Amino acid sequence: MNMHRILPALLALAVAPLVAQQAAPAAPAAPAVPAAQRTGPELTPEQKELMKEVERMRGEKARIDAQVALAEARRAEELAPLAAETAKLSAERALRLAKAAAEAAALEDEKARLERQTSLEAARSSARLADRMNRIRELEAEAKQLQLEAGNTVARLTNELNRFQKEEESRKVATRAKPRYVKDPLIDGVLYISDRRIPFNGAVTDQLADYVVQRINFYNNQSTEFPIFIVVDSSPGGSVSAGYQIQKAMAASKAPVYVVVKGFAASMTAVITTLAERSFCYPNSIILHHQVSNNLRGNMTVLKEQIRFTTEWFDRLGTPVAKKMGISLEEFVKQMYANDSTGDWQAFGEKARELKWVDTTVERIEETAILDIIPPPAAPTPPVIRPPQTEISGVTAKVDDKGRPYYELPPLSNPFDAWWIYDPHGLYRAR
């Protein structure tokens, strides 16, 4: 504990008895008397000791006070730079705080300005956005209106186009006439062909035979009262076996099957025409008969077998033709070469009628079933030429390695079949 704090307490304890003895009213102060001359109550030894102790303590206190003062002075001297530095730092801190406060105030002002500017810009942007949205809605309304008008225009144009197409289609359909069904189609020299017609063009193949036979059966199931017409524009003949199937289907038909040759009928097709129940042609139509031919291949035995079967085919199908002509088969062959050195005996319609290859020549043929316009066929790519009824007969148009077009015939399904076809230019080639 510090002495300067203890000393006053000790002094108070020492002087307390003296204060009690002097509690009476004090007389007027007398002049100071030195201690040696003082008169009064004698101090006890304890008091004297105490007074000495007090004096000593006072001296000690004075010394201590002097030390404390010196220490305070030294401390003040030592703390002076620190106080100055502290004051400086306090001043600098106050200055920085003032600057910071000023900057904060400036930032607050800038923030407030930016907020006001942002609010103003947002308000302007909202206004511009609202204007744009209104414009967009106006444009959408205009677009819908234009779309509606365009739709109405398209609908109107579509209706007009449909109407024009229907009118065009109606112009392509013969609505004033209907197929003419008569039991005897030859009326006053005019041959009337109904829709019970079977187109017969190109090479006679198994595929063409299936096509013709199916339609003969169909028309029979539809009606047996009116005739069926096999209409030949141009056919060079073909497979003997396929032609025989057609001939037998014609013979088995309950409805009469008539053959009409408009252009050219040769070989197997000529046999079908001649042996039909009834046949017709134009005066300038051409009918051609000749012997059966074959592409012989194999050893001698096979060649003999093929010749034997080909000869038998010709006997079976050529004999009825010769019989209708009123001559023998041998005479028929002899006249073939007598009329043409190649054996290809051909005749126009009038002569064919005299030879009994065809029954009747007519000047006019009316196709009463042609009620719409058939679109023209697509132009073939040169130099390939498209044979008639390619899809039906199975014949394929090809070009050989020398660039020459030809027709490839389908293979004969019957191993004993033969080609009875007129092909002077070598256009048809067997597969």
Give the residue numbers annotated as catalytic, written as ranges: 267, 290
At 279, which amino acid appears?
Answer: S
What is the Cα–Cα distance from 238 to 423, expressed in whole angstroms?
Answer: 10
What DSSP string describes 268-334?
HHHHHHHTSSEEEE-TT-EEEE---B----S-HHHHHHHHHHHHHHHHHHHHHHHHHHTS-HHHHHH
Task: Count the Cβ atoms, other than its own, within 10 Å of residue 24.
Answer: 6
What is the Cα–Cα distance from 121 to 115, expressed in whole angstroms?
Answer: 9
The torsion region of residue 202 among left (phi > 0), alpha (psi -120 to 50) and beta comes to left
φ and ψ at residue 193, rounded to 5 degrees: -105, 125
Angle between helices 45-172 and 3-21 (to 10 degrees): 130
Find where tokens 């001649």 sit.
274
Instruction: Tell me if 371 sits within 8 A of 365, measured CB to CB.
Output: no
Q: Longest C-alpha distance within the chain, in Å?
A: 212
Query: Hey, which residues does 281 pair with through a beta bridge?
Result: 261, 361
φ and ψ at residue 225, rounded to 5 degrees: -85, -40
